[in-house]
Chains A and B, each alone.
Chain A
Amino acid sequence: MTGTETRREQRHRFVPGQPDMWAFVLFETLLFTSYFAVYLFNRARNEELYLQSQAHLELWVGVLNTIVLLTSSWSIARCVQAARAGGYRAALGNAFLTAGLGAVFLVCKVVEWVRQFRMGNTLTTNDFFMHYFFLTGLHCLHLLIGFVVLGMIVYQLRSPARRSQTLVETCATYWHTVDFLWVLIFAMLYVVR
């Protein structure tokens, strides 16, 4: 690649959404990483308790939840692309699909919590369930904020006077953050041994 081509490529590169959202994404990443590090350290020192408690979780439910949220991330990425290309109807459709998939995830999570409560597992049962309810609860809080963020995308896309591609990208970046945080939480709670 020549120097001119490299410079041209650099000019075409862009930050998706507002840079402030990226600062938030990196901050959240470091915050959750710190929590996961403490969790893994404690887990490795008390493997039996964590394994016995982990046996109460259904791996396939976690896999299903993850695929639902990955699909929602895919649909919001398509929403961004459609809005960029001026296809606002398609973008709106994808935003609604994302919200629907987010709702499916939320319902699955509530059903799983109810199942755990019925088995007598609560926040105070042991260290594993303290981490389980704290991490999944905190993630659901992020998901609920995500619904507000999706509402902002719909509000933006509905009127030609309001449409801001930067805001759509910023909101989509938030939703992807909810997705990748779940990818990590799922691995920590359901898969690691």
Chain B
Amino acid sequence: MRHRLLIAWAVLCALTLGYLWLDHSADGHGGLRASTVVTTAAIVIALVKVRIIFREFMEVRHAPVLLCRLTDASIAIMAVSLLGSYFAGVALG
């Protein structure tokens, strides 16, 4: 059980450090550049991290099915809202 928490923490930290690689690969040696790939990846990685926090740290995986579904639904709503509003902004920009 303790190892499971430690593994979850390590995965969360690795995903966070992955942002440094994402940032480096997007910009190289130049200034910041707009990137749909980076934005989409950043949002998806953040949502994966939120789900891990829900499931492992907040113990939702031991919770009744209703709470599991509600938390998953909230993540799905976040994904649709965030990606949807970003792409709508790009399309209308």
Contacts and interface: CB of A to CB of B under 8 A. Distances in A.
A40 B20 contact: no
B91 to A, nearest CB: 8
Interface in A26-51: 26, 29-30, 33-34, 36-38, 40-47, 51
Interface stretch (A54-62, A110-118, A134-142, A155-163): A54-62
Contacts of B59: 16, 77, 80, 169
A187 B45 contact: yes
Nearest to B87: A44
Interface string A47-82: 100011011000110010011001101101110110
A63 B20 CA distance: 8
Contact of A47 (B19, B56, B74, B93): B93
Given A55-B32, A180-B49, A193-B35, A63 B74 contact: no
A167 to B, nearest CB: 15
B28 interface: no
Interface residues of A, number: 55
Contacts of A78: 2, 5
B86 A40 contact: yes
B64 A63 contact: no
A187 B43 contact: yes
A17 to B, nearest CB: 9
Interface in B57-74: 57-60, 62-65, 67, 70-71, 74
A33 B82 contact: yes
Contacts of B74: 26, 29-30, 33
A58 to B, nearest CB: 11
B57 A176 contact: yes
Interface of A: 10, 12-16, 22, 26, 29-30, 33-34, 36-38, 40-47, 51-52, 54-55, 59-60, 63, 66-67, 70-71, 73-74, 76-78, 80-81, 169, 172-173, 176, 179-180, 183-184, 186-187, 190-193
Interface of B: 1-2, 5-6, 8-9, 12-13, 16-17, 19-20, 22-23, 26, 31-35, 38-39, 42-43, 45-46, 49-50, 53-54, 56-60, 62-65, 67, 70-71, 74, 77-78, 81-82, 84-90, 92-93
